Amino acid sequence: MKNFMVLSLFCSFFCAALLSEELMKPTSFSKDLYPAEILDGNYFLDIDHPSSFLDFNYGERVASPAQISSAIVAWSKQSNRLKVVEYAKSHEGRPLYALFISAPENINNLDAIKSNITKLSDARNINDKEAESIIQSLPSVAWMAYSIHGNETSGADAALGIIYHLIASKDSDVIDMLSEMIIVIDPMMNPDGRDRFAKSLEQYRGTAPNYDDQSLLHTGDWPYGRTNHYYFDLNRDWLYLTQPETRGRVALINEWRPQILVDGHEMGAQDTFMTGPPREPINKNIDRDLIKWGNQFANDQANEFDLRGWRFYTGEWHEDLYPGYSFYVQFRGTLGILYEQSRMSEDGVRRPEGSIQSYKEAVHHQYISTLANLKTLQKNSYQMYLDYWDGRKLNVSKNGKYGNQTFVILPTDNHGRLNALVAKLEAQDVELFRNTKILSVQSALKQSGELVEDFVIPKGSLIIPNRQPEAPLIAAILEFDADIDESVLLEERQSSLRDGSSIMYDTTAFNFTMMFGLPAVTVPENLSSNLELWAPFPTNVEVNENAVMWAVNAEDDRSVAFAARLMEKNINVRIIDEDAVLSKHSLSRGSVAVLAMDNLSHENLINDIELIARDLNISLVSIESGFGPDELPDWGGRHFRLLQKPQIAILSHSDFSSYDVGVTWWSIDQYLGIRHSQVNSSMAGYADLRRYNTIVMPSGYADLNGSKKEALMTWVAQGGTLIAHNRSSRLIASAEDFGGVKLLQNTFENSVDYKFDLLKEMAASDNYINKDKILNHGVDLDITYPWESSEKALSQENLENRDKWQSIFMPSGSMVAGRVDQKHWLSFGTPPTLPILYANYPILMTNNQSEAVVRIGELVSNDAVKDFRMVNWSSIPPGKDLNVRMSGLVWPEAAQRIANSAYLTRERIGRGQIILFAGEPNFRGSTRGTNRLWLNALIYGAGLGASSKINL
């Protein structure tokens, strides 16, 4: 009893002390900044108000994904104006919802409405009269989507209010709207990114409001909430469809073909509000009727802003050349409308004029914009459907812009990659065919830009006639070059020269076949005979238990995963590094073989091999004899090279580009599924690097300083394979003593030596000799030495000045031709000419110690040229031209600057090696051509390029 008294006395004393230690109350609250009510209608009380799902008043702060989801689930039970569709789950397991909101009679009739929209979209099957009657019956369809960038939060909060307003309102204007419209709300397009950002708001929130847009509360921190789980920008993924969020969403949007698609973003905190229509460059495959409608919508929206004294603008930086934004829908006949609200995050942001724009006002802007756009659509739906129908007729007309053009992807044994491309095209409703016979056509345009006459299309090509319902989208993603107006080019050039800025907002090259590194041609006619519908390749997994080895062909990218997954199960794997024929099976160089003799102690070897081949869906052959006829490789010779199991680390964290870290990480999980570690790069100086034999340095910003550099160099010299991208390659190439690869601008002093090495390399790939001359007994006085027959070399000063000038014109995302060393192990599965996505990358120069596996520029024949010709430090041999640009904007000055430089280098250092990519080989998970080079480096590097380790 006595003890109890003491305890309670102690507590009352101590608890009072605690109270006095509470955080101080702030002098003002951000909730008082903006008194206006966003939800100002008359609402039914049986629908819960958004605030009831939040721990603050609606609109005042950022709702978390869990709060938004719980509101949606509750409302789906409370309202008959609503149908909720879960269209995807994010990588982190969060649901993505599309909410169909309309009058109950429409909600009960969604399937019939959708099927009428599908009918209206294929002008091959209905006539004008039938189209008119469908249009008369159709409600208008709006798709309103928000916050695809997770830290651009106000859109999703506005969506929460819009949903409530539409399902709970008693007002006649809303009830009328719902009887005439189907409004689809996709409130939160990137829940994983939003969750990351919402969490950081919790972590950085103090007691007093914070109006400083530089504070961590507003900026968030690495890897930022903009992107999804793997740090992908989902607003660049609408065509590439690499992420589950996008795949689910695009499938649903494409089923519904909405009339408008709103995409609500945020931009810089000190900005105002921007909406469509865009300015030039606008992709030529967008129906100009949509631009006309864009102006109409902007006008009505502007009136609403004017009424409330809210500032806004249209156009300015908003261009529309790149088709991989949400605006891919415009190529399918939907009007895309962009919102860009200045970014508040929480509380509000102080502006130079002294005012504070509150978060709640930002939400209100998105909310009012949404209602304004819905009203404009309600008013103009009929006319917009008529325009849509006109467009659909044009797409399939033989006299239209798309009537006489066919895209052809030439046959390849790289079934894995081709299947991936086919899946992306099918997701966009593209009709695909295969030719059952050889087709001879009058002419064909190659990816190099060359128009070839009397071209023969091999049997089994993938044939895509442009004349079909989705013609504009097909043209936008398969045409080798997007047309850009001369006036736009002029403006871009002036702007580059004046202040080094660009008017291009994204890459200027994006066609699928070059991104995928698949050879293709465009035929200027509509191919329609001897075609069958495209069908997937059959996979043949042939497992004979008595074979001496089992192999998969290198042509297929999945062969790398096959090797990687086998090694993870501790199975010994070999690479056949030259073309081989074994037991009548042809295997191209780089094919992967598992030998029974290498794995005598492995139980269930056959089962493991078969399971892995089936998981990858790759064909496997069984080989009964290790004998290769004639000079072809035999199984005991030097061409059967043992691989080393890669033990991979990715250097990561805020020193690196989150995009490149993310896509590196994703590429391993997506293509290989093997164990690896992301290691905080700040540990690189003291971590135990011996655990890894392969380290990737994604594109980075940091200095490669003292202890980190030393640790990495020592690790390389002892047998490590270091693979670097873009800015990290720049760091390594500019470091004094980190290998022999240098940046172009640091080599002009010795440009003669670099040219000498290049000429040697070019001569080594020459296919011509004169035997009589060689066997002549006298001294030949007519030998040509390439450097002597070249034009006079430029002085160092001249080279430096040229370089300064040319560097102004570096591309911002174009396709250039890569010249690939066909004898190098890094180029397994890669054709001699590879399209490479190129931007303002470091320009790498190899010396005689280092190898250039891929150089910029395709050498093509030109018999008219008799002499060597100079390009800056390098030259082009007689009888040749050098093609650099393949697609997009590459100024001639830039083409000269990068000509003959290295894109991919490899250098032996001690027992290890350094592999540098000038660019980002896995860009957006879509540059499958360069991705293959990277997979080779990652999985084969430890075995083929470093000294093998013997475990005693």
Q: Which is nearer to Zn ion, 268 or 673 (CB)?
A: 268
Nearest approach, Cβ of 226 to Zn ion (angstroms)? 7
Window of 43-51, 63-71, 87-95, 148-156 that interacts with Zn ion by CB under 5 A: 148-156
DSSP alpha helix (H) spans, 182-232: 191-204, 216-219
Nearest approach, Cβ of 260 to Zn ion (angstroms)? 18
Contact 261, 336 (CB under 8 A): yes
Q: Which is nearer to Zn ion, 152 or 821 (CB)?
A: 152
Nearest approach, Cβ of 271 to Zn ion (angstroms)? 12
Give the H or E element holding residue 788: helix 786-789
Nearest approach, Cβ of 299 to Zn ion (angstroms)? 24
Q: Which is nearer to Zn ion, 274 or 551 (CB)?
A: 274
Nearest approach, Cβ of 664 to Zn ion (angstroms)? 23
Contact 107, 83 (CB under 8 A): yes
CA distance 528 to 131: 26
Which tokens belong to 566? 């086998």
Nearest approach, Cβ of 232 to Zn ion (angstroms)? 13
Nearest approach, Cβ of 924 to Zn ion (angstroms)? 16
CA distance 139 to 745: 62
Window of 149-157, 278-286, 309-317, 832-840 that interacts with Zn ion by CB under 5 A: 149-157
Nearest approach, Cβ of 328 to Zn ion (angstroms)? 16
Window of 91-99, 151-159, 643-651, 816-824 that interacts with Zn ion by CB under 5 A: 151-159
Q: Which is nearer to Zn ion, 234 or 520 (CB)?
A: 234
Window of 262-270, 364-372, 634-642, 705-713 that interacts with Zn ion by CB under 5 A: 262-270
- Across 256-273, b (16+ Cβ under 10 Å) vs e yields bbbbbbbbbbbbebeebb
774 — alpha (psi -120 to 50), left (phi > 0) or beta? alpha
Q: Which is nearer to Zn ion, 265 or 906 (CB)?
A: 265
DSSP state of 64: P
- Contact mark string toward Zn ion, 719..748, x via CB under 5 A: ------------------------------
Kindly state whether residue 360 participates in binding Zn ion, applying the rule CB under 5 A: no
The residue of the chain with the least Cβ separation from Zn ion equals 265
Nearest approach, Cβ of 369 to Zn ion (angstroms)? 15
Nearest approach, Cβ of 343 to Zn ion (angstroms)? 9
CA distance 934 to 104: 54
Window of 150-158, 389-397, 548-556, 738-746 that interacts with Zn ion by CB under 5 A: 150-158
Beta pairing partners, 678:
650
Query: What is the bridge-based pairing of β-strands 439-446 and 520-523?
Result: antiparallel
Window of 265-273, 277-285, 372-380, 572-580 that interacts with Zn ion by CB under 5 A: 265-273
Q: Which is nearer to Zn ion, 148 or 704 (CB)?
A: 148
DSSP state of 784: P
Nearest approach, Cβ of 149 to Zn ion (angstroms)? 4
Q: Which is nearer to Zn ion, 265 or 676 (CB)?
A: 265
Q: Which is nearer to Zn ion, 152 or 907 (CB)?
A: 152
Window of 62-70, 120-128, 147-155, 625-633 that interacts with Zn ion by CB under 5 A: 147-155
Nearest approach, Cβ of 233 to Zn ion (angstroms)? 8
Q: Which is nearer to Zn ion, 83 or 265 (CB)?
A: 265
CA distance 894 to 508: 15
Side-chain half-sphere exposure of 126, counting CA atoms within 13 A: 19
CA distance 117 to 252: 13
- Give Cα 226 to chain centroid, integer Å: 15
Nearest by Cα to 647 from 406, 345, 949, 905: 949
Contact 729, 917 (CB under 8 A): yes
Distances (CA, A) of 774 to 495, 778, 784, 834: 56, 10, 13, 35
Kindly state whether residue 265 participates in binding Zn ion, applying the rule CB under 5 A: yes
Side-chain half-sphere exposure of 164, counting CA atoms within 13 A: 28
Distances (CA, A) of 737 to 68, 219, 618, 733, 921: 54, 37, 43, 9, 25
Nearest approach, Cβ of 504 to Zn ion (angstroms)? 17
Contact 945, 913 (CB under 8 A): yes
Place of tokens 């469509």: 276
Measure the CA angle with vertex 556, ends 551 and 559; round to 5°.
Answer: 45
- Contact mark string toward Zn ion, 95..134, x via CB under 5 A: ----------------------------------------
Window of 264-272, 419-427, 801-809, 825-833 that interacts with Zn ion by CB under 5 A: 264-272
- Site size with Zn ion, rule: CB under 5 A: 3
Which tokens belong to 338? 């962009």
Nearest approach, Cβ of 237 to Zn ion (angstroms)? 13
Contact 164, 75 (CB under 8 A): yes
Window of 50-58, 259-267, 902-910, 934-942 that interacts with Zn ion by CB under 5 A: 259-267
Q: Which is nearer to Zn ion, 326 or 513 (CB)?
A: 326
Applying the rule CB under 5 A, the residues between 464 and 503 that interact with Zn ion are none
CA distance 290 to 388: 9
Backbone phi and psi for residue 750, each to the nearest 5 degrees, phi listed first:
-115, 30
Window of 115-123, 146-154, 420-428, 796-804 that interacts with Zn ion by CB under 5 A: 146-154
Q: Which is nearer to Zn ion, 226 or 819 (CB)?
A: 226
Nearest approach, Cβ of 152 to Zn ion (angstroms)? 5
Which tokens belong to 764? 């080594």
Which of residues 61, 83, 94, 149 is near Zn ion by CB under 5 A? 149
CA distance 275 to 258: 19
Q: Which is nearer to Zn ion, 143 or 715 (CB)?
A: 143
DSSP state of 790: S
Q: Which is nearer to Zn ion, 336 or 590 (CB)?
A: 336
- Which residues of this protein are in contact with Zn ion, per CB under 5 A? 149, 152, 265
